[in-house]
Structure 1
Amino acid sequence: MKRAVLVTLGLAAGLLSLAGAASAEEAAEAVRALYAPVWNPLEGEDLSKLTGPALALFEKSAKVSAETGEAGCVDFVVTVGGQDFDDEEVARTIETVETGRSPEGDALVTARFRSFPDGDADQEIRWTMRQVGGAWKVADIESPLDEWKLSTFPCD
């Protein structure tokens, strides 16, 4: 009887471990999918891939843009940390890896890629991904190289 309970507990722990690993892979794959082709939340009005601070910033940016008729608070492609990039080079060189979890349980994913085939254009973008309704959504994005983070981005 004890052995059956231990085997059952061991199997349950193993399945939970596999579920956690699958979840980690899913978060990294969700970020990878945003690079083929490069997703730009400034294009179009569909912000369904965003949640939390990222969604709040892009909503506020759209409001500022509508009120002023000019670019909103964000005027670059946050997924690549700039305005110019070679879509094929980004897709060819993209690497994503989950680097941990936030205290709130969000997946932290780092994306590394090259923006252009020539020159010194390596990039690193860090993503905070949150599961909402069974789907991974972007809660925050930051560039340690360029020292910006959406959740602390000024938008007046």
Structure 2
Amino acid sequence: MARPRLVALSVVCLLTAGGAAAQGLFGAPPANAPAESAAPANPPAALPPAESAPAPPVQPGSPTAMVKPFYEHAGLELDPAQRSHFVDPAKSVLDKSDALRKSGQGECLDPNMALDNAEYEKAEIDNSLKTIEAVKGDEAKVVVAFVAAGNPHRLEWKFKKVDGDWKIMDLLSVTGEWALSQYQCE
């Protein structure tokens, strides 16, 4: 039982220590990060590498559970029936995009934002998708990493707890350097 707690604690520590400084899911460390040259004096011999540790189960109603359907059904974020899962600023942008589409003036948002607007094969996404969640009070984020067309992608979903439920307030692409909240759909 201590092993999953240690892995979870390590993940939380990585997120709070700067997120992007962690390898793997979070990318390469910044140029000014100190190199890890020495092994710890008393390494825990019984712990397997982080890659082989099983992922903890996704808790119903958690931010990660809210993100999963967007990777099971591409383009779901643009479905007006999903709007109840969003709050401002993301909800306002999505509502304006809906209004623009209904007016016949065109599209404002790309059809697969959750997939970083990349061309993809579902099997490649399914085989490479990794998520990590961090909750702090009434706010949370889920970092999602996956490979599409052989290229790594990383997105961050930001959440806010509203009336006891997690709602998506923004979606940011670390790879593509865009944020849903920054779109001007007018």
Query: TM-score of the superposition, structure 2-length normalised?
Result: 0.59
Query: Alignment partner of 1:74: what SS?
Result: coil
How far is 1:39 from its partner? Answer: 4.8
* Number of residue pairs aligned between Structure 1 and Structure 2: 128
Contact 2:63 2:142 in 1 (8 A): yes
Residue in structure 2 matching 1:110, options 136, 143, 152: 143
Report which structure shows greater RCO (CA 8 Å, sep ≥6): 1
- Name the counterpart of 1:13: none
Q: Deviations over 1:101-123 (max 9, x none)?
A: 4xx8310110001123xx3x211
- Name the counterpart of 2:15: none
Is 2:115 the partner of 1:84? Answer: no
Could you tell me which amino acid in structure 1 is paired with residue 122 of structure 2? D
How far is 1:100 from its partner? Answer: 5.4
Distance 1:45 1:28, change over 3 A: closer
Residue in structure 2 matching 1:50, options 86, 90, 104: 86
Residue in structure 2 matching 1:60, options 96, 110, 116: 96
- Structure 1 residue runs of 5 or longer lacking an equivalent are 1-20
Distance 1:57 1:122 in 2: 26
- Name the counterpart of 2:76: 40
- Name the counterpart of 1:7: none
Could you tell me which amino acid in structure 2 is paired with residue 93 of structure 1? S
Residue in structure 2 matching 1:135, options 156, 159, 165: 165
- Cα RMSD of the aligned pairs, angstroms, is 2.6
- Name the counterpart of 2:181: 151
Query: TM-score of the superposition, structure 1-length normalised?
Result: 0.69
Q: Percent same amino acid at aligned positions?
A: 24
